[in-house]
């Protein structure tokens, strides 16, 4: 593992150096503001709710906003895919990837996935007429020049065990933070103030604006199903499939949780502090695609529990009704600048 990490780190260093020396060229898209929400540690920083936070922020400024994503693990025939526009959704989560599809469910704005983010940005500007692009991930995608790089640091694992992938979780050196415009320490509510202080101290030398954000549970909701299949919108004009329940509903109840996210420990801790009498857990790898057999297994297990709980990222990949299934809504909030 250590040797692989050294090789990975060297490749990343060399690539960044070629961009720094302008041997590799960044491409700028004129007439549109591009804001990248990224990280330097693989997975689990809370990018998806952070992206939604900034989308909402710019919508409130009456900006025409679009979302650009790589569409990680999406299986599509062509690289560039319009997931949705202001009117409707054109793709499914298997084509778009789960994060992009979740954005499409939550907003009635253009969502595009494309590994070539420059090409995706051009499409959003020229075909969708957006003036602000919120880029979901892509700090390491240096081919596209951004107007602002906002980097998320997960307070529960801020520096990726100080090793590159695969031994650690670092996607590139901490010195890459020199390219950042702003740093946000996320999930601050899961660690002590002392831990936040230590993270701040380590980040101080980069002389960047540092904000503190929480990642907090808000409520549970259920999706309505028709003929065993869920509606294709979570938030829609009729509020179909968005029946809300208070967090206290699982207190003293037996619950089963399942997820396929990068940091399932945070999901478990969140449910635990809501005081169910019993928690059992089924974990899958990050971005896992559920098979019919796995869904059937969860449905069978569900019969023994008061509630089955999952995340918003997971629900986009579940097409069948599971008895007593509820989704936990989490919210990203900046509490300190």
Same domain, 163 and 58: yes
Whether the per-residue pLDDT at 237 is higher than 50: the answer is no
Q: Which of 146, 7, 99, 154 is nearest to 311 (CA)?
A: 99
Residue range 51-82, pLDDT digits in tens: 999 999 999 999 999 999 999 888 998 999 99
| 187 located within any domain | yes
Residue 75 shares a structural domain with residue 184? yes
Annotated binding site for ATP: 41-48
Whether the predicted pLDDT of 130 surpasses 60: yes
Residues 6 or more apart from 125 whose CB is under 8 A from it? 29, 31, 32, 133
Max mean pLDDT among 46-50, 124-128, 259-263 falls in: 124-128
Average pLDDT over residues 92-107: 92
Quick check: is 299 in a domain? Answer: yes
Number of domains in the chain: 2
Check whether residue 171 and residue 258 sit in a common domain: no
Query: Which DSSP category does 334 fall into?
Result: E
pLDDT of residue 186 exceeding 50, the answer is yes
Residue 160 and residue 167 in contact, taking contact as beta carbons nearer than 8 Å:
no
Predicted local distance difference test score (pLDDT) of residue 154:
96
**Average of pLDDT values for 94-122?**
95
List the beta bridge partners of residue 333: 214
CA 155 to chain centre: 16
Shared domain for 189 and 140, answered yes or no, is: yes
- Name every residue whose Cβ is closer than 8 Å to that of residue 17 and which is 6 or more positions away in sequence: none
Mind listing the pLDDT tens digit for each residue in 280-321?
999 999 889 899 999 999 999 999 999 999 999 999 888 888
Rg (CA), the chain: 20
Residues 40 and 168 in one domain: yes
Measured between alpha carbons, how far is 99 from 312 in angstroms, rounded to an integer?
9
Question: Domain for residue 19, yes or no?
Answer: no
Question: Cα dist. 288→72, 149, 285, 335 in Å?
Answer: 11, 28, 5, 32
CA distances from 233 to 47, 162, 192, 239 (A): 21, 40, 38, 9
Identify whether 21 is part of a domain: no
pLDDT tens readout for residues 15-34: 999 999 999 999 999 999 99
Statement to judge: residues 223 and 203 lie in one domain: no
DSSP per residue over 233-273, as a string? -SS-TT-TT-EEE-GGGGTT-EEEEEE--S-HHHHHHHHHT
Residue spans of alpha helices (H) in the chain: 2-20, 47-59, 93-96, 98-106, 117-126, 193-203, 264-272, 292-302, 312-315
Please give the residue range of the domain that contains residue 279: 218-330
Whether 14 is in a domain gets the answer no
pLDDT greater than 50 at residue 185: yes
CATH number of the domain enclosing 118: 3.40.50.300
* CATH number of the domain where residue 247 is located: 3.40.50
Domain closes at, from 186, 207, 228 = 207
Number of other CB atoms surrounding residue 238 within 10 Å: 8
Give the residue from 207, 229, 259 where a domain finishes: 207
Higher-confidence residue of 228 and 162: namely 162
- Percent of residues, the chain, with pLDDT higher than 90: 84
In a domain, 48, yes or no: yes
Are residues 189 and 66 located together in one domain of the fold? yes
Of the listed ranges 32-41, 169-178, 287-296, the least confidently predicted one is 287-296
Based on the fold, state whether residues 49 and 169 are members of the same structural domain: yes
In whole angstroms, how far apart are CA 36 and each of 91, 128, 132, 301? 23, 19, 11, 40
Q: Binding site, residues?
A: 41-48
Residues 256, 113 share a domain? no
Give me the pLDDT at residue 160, please. Answer: 94
pTM, full prediction: 0.91
Q: Is residue 10 part of a domain?
A: no
Q: Kindly report which listed range (119-128, 143-152, 176-185, 284-293) carries the lowest average pLDDT score.
A: 284-293
273 and 303 belong to one structural domain: yes
Pull the structure tokens for residue 47.
């990018």
Query: String of b and e for 164-190 (b: at least 16 CB within 10 Å)?
Result: bbebbbbbbebebbebbeebbbbbbbb
- pLDDT of 230 above 70: no
List the beta bridge partners of residue 310. Answer: 327
Instruction: Note whether 201 and 79 are same-domain residues.
Output: yes
Q: Are residues 179 and 223 in the same domain?
A: no
Please check the confidence at residue 238 and state whether its pLDDT lies above 50: no
What is the reported pLDDT for 28?
A: 97
**Across all residues in the chain, what is the average pLDDT?**
92
Q: Which two tokens stand for residue 39?
A: 């990280």
- Is position 1 within any domain? no
Residue ranges in 140-237 assigned as alpha helix (H): 193-203
Summarised one tens digit per residue, pLDDT across range 241-290 is: 468 999 999 999 999 999 999 889 999 999 999 999 999 999 999 889 89
Distance, in Å, from the CA atom of 204 to the CA atom of 251, rounded to the nearest integer, reads 41
User: Rounded distance, CA 124 to CA 251, Å?
Assistant: 45
Given 179, 207, 235, which residue is the final one in a domain? 207
């Amino acid at each position: 593992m250590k040797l692989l990490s050294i090789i990975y780190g060297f490749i990343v260093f060399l690539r960044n150096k070629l961009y720094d020396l302008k041997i590799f060229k960044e491409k700028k898209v004129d007439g549109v503001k591009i804001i990248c929400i990224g990280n330097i540690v693989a997975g689990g920083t809370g990018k998806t709710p952070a992206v939604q936070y900034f989308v909402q922020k710019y919508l409130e400024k009456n900006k025409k906003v679009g979302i650009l994503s790589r569409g990680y693990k999406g299986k599509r025939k062509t690289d560039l895919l319009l997931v949705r526009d202001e009117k409707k959704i054109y793709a499914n989560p298997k084509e778009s990837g789960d994060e992009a599809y979740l954005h499409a469910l939550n907003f009635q704005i253009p969502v595009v996935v494309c590994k070539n983010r420059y090409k995706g940005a051009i499409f959003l500007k020229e075909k969708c007429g957006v003036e602000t692009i919120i880029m979901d991930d892509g700090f390491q995608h240096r081919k596209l020049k951004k107007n602002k790089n906002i980097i998320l640091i997960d307070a529960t694992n801020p520096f990726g065990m100080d090793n590159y992938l695969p031994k650690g979780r670092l996607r590139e050196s901490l010195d890459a933070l020199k390219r950042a415009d702003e740093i946000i320490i996320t999930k601050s509510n899961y660690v002590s103030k002392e831990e936040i202080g230590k993270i701040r101290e380590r980040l101080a030398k980069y002389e960047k604006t540092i904000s503190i954000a929480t990642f907090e549970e808000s409520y549970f909701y259920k999706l309505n199903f028709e003929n065993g299949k869920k509606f294709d919108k979570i938030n829609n004009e009729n509020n179909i499939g968005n029946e809300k329940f208070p967090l206290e509903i699982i207190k003293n109840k037996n619950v089963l949780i399942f997820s396929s996210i990068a940091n399932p420990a945070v999901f478990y801790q969140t449910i635990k502090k809501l005081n169910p009498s019993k928690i059992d857990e089924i974990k899958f790898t990050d971005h896992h695609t559920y098979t019919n057999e796995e869904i059937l297994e969860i449905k069978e297990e569900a019969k023994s529990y008061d509630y089955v709980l999952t995340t918003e990222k997971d629900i986009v990949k579940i097409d069948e009704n599971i008895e007593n299934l509820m989704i936990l809504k989490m919210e990203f909030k900046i509490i300190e600048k």
